[in-house]
Amino acid sequence: MPHTTSRRGLLFGTAAVSAGAVLTACTSNESSDDKPSSDAKPAADDKPGKHVTIGFAGPQADHGWLNAINDNAKERAKAYSDVSLEVTEGSNDTAAQIGQIETLINKKVDVIVVLPADGKALTQVGLKAMRAGIPVVNLDRIFNTPQAYRCWVGGDNYGMGFNAGQYIGERLKGKKGARVVELAGIDNLELTRQRTQGFDDALKNYPNIKKVARQAADFTVESGQAKMAQLLQAQSHIDALWNHDDDQGVGALRAIDQAGRDEFLMVGGAGSLSAMQQIKQDKGVLKATVLYPPTMAASAIDLARALGQGKGIQGMSEAEIPTSITLYSAVVDKHNVDQYMPTGFK
């Protein structure tokens, strides 16, 4: 899963069909037969501009969300006749990714979009690109210094946890002695701590609710199933579950089915297609998921194109794009799931 460090930047919602929709009007050209996985189409009235070669250094696609990041970037680039995308082989190895970015620098691409395997470890290569005159769009996992990127775009981990806690709180606010549990991600990641902090802060507004247990999983189906089974064995009754990640949620739901438990509501995280489909059916414990939109990669391509062509964002007064953009973590339930279904990732 993604790794960011703060609730920073300009807040943009995902209220349309894409987190990148707000950016497309300033950077797009004619529509294309290649439909981006974010389902956002370039504006037909914007003419193609200067050709831009974008280097994309993405993650290894070993997780549904990470695979969606790569797909969104590639599909968005296809929508532009004035964009060429130089794609590196996705890697979670910092040394390999540094080498890949150095290759992009040597090729003199116009802009680099990178989701670092480790923001801290890749800061120096980000600085190297910027010093070479190549603007860097830092996607999600943030570099240690803003000097290493021209623009950062990513999700709001604290807001994700807070919105999950608020959703659960509103549904349990009339229940005395309500008990909730948390299935977190990987505890040594800052993003996990932020999501937990946001959740805990939201629950402070609901004194009738107590978090009685927490388990950290590993963002995998297997760990989600094992850790959820442990939670259920330890807690004979719960009223709600906050699960940080829809991929590990697949395993969690297996454990819930095997235990025959259905007395509680479950809120997931990230926004997978399978989670949204289950929410729409409304036949099980999963009632909502909090978005961490992989469409941010499509937005990163929009921003990179804008940088390469010297454009700003339509609808804003400034001639330059912002230095940071934080996407909003919308809660998706049965009432609005149709609106967000096109952004769901497999």
| pLDDT attached to residue 63 | 80
178 within a domain of the structure (yes/no): yes
258 within a domain of the structure (yes/no): yes
Same domain? 134 vs 180 = no
4 within a domain of the structure (yes/no): no
80 within a domain of the structure (yes/no): yes
| pLDDT attached to residue 284 | 97
Give the per-residue SS3 of the chain: CCCCCCCCCEEECCCCCCCCHHHHHHHCCCCCCCCCCCCCCCCCCCCCCCCEEEEEECCCCCCHHHHHHHHHHHHHHHCCCCEEEEECCCCCCHHHHHHHHHHHHHCCCCEEEECCCCCCCCHHHHHHHHHCCCCEEEECCCCCCHHHCCEEEECCHHHHHHHHHHHHHHHHCCCCCEEEEEEECCCCCHHHHHHHHHHHHHHCCCCCEEEEEEEECCCCHHHHHHHHHHHHHHCCCCCEEEECCHHHHHHHHHHHHHHCCCCCEEEEEECEHHHHHHHHHCCCCEEEEEECCCCHHHHHHHHHHHHHHCCCCCCCCCCCCCCEEEECCCEEECCCHHHHHHHCEC
339 within a domain of the structure (yes/no): no
Same domain? 139 vs 218 = no
Same domain? 189 vs 271 = yes
| pLDDT attached to residue 2 | 42
Same domain? 298 vs 255 = no
- pLDDT beneath 70: ranges in the chain: 1-46
Same domain? 122 vs 170 = no
| pLDDT attached to residue 76 | 96
260 within a domain of the structure (yes/no): yes
| pLDDT attached to residue 46 | 59
Same domain? 34 vs 79 = yes
HSE value, Cβ hemisphere, 13 Å, CA-based, for 97: 25
Kindly list the distances between the CA atom of residue 245 and the CA atoms of 44, 207, 210, 223, 258, in Å, as whole numbers in the listed order: 36, 26, 21, 11, 20
Provide the number of structural domains found in the chain. Answer: 2
345 within a domain of the structure (yes/no): no
Same domain? 184 vs 128 = no
Q: Cβ atoms within 10 A of the Cβ of 164, count?
A: 28
Q: What are the tokens at 90?
A: 């996705």
- Tokens 């609901």 -> residue: 206
Q: Going edge to edge, which strands form the sheet with 286-291?
A: 209-216, 178-184, 240-243, 265-270, 286-291, 331-333
Of 88, 94, 154, 100, nearest in space to 129 by CA: 100
Same domain? 137 vs 215 = no
Domain that holds residue 46: 10-154+293-329
CATH number for the domain that contains residue 55: 3.40.50.2300
Same domain? 85 vs 131 = yes
Same domain? 97 vs 193 = no
Same domain? 173 vs 65 = no
pTM of the prediction?
A: 0.84
Domain boundary among 245, 264, 291: 291
Same domain? 23 vs 147 = yes
Sort strands 136-139 and 151-154 into parallel, antiparallel or unpaired. parallel
1 within a domain of the structure (yes/no): no
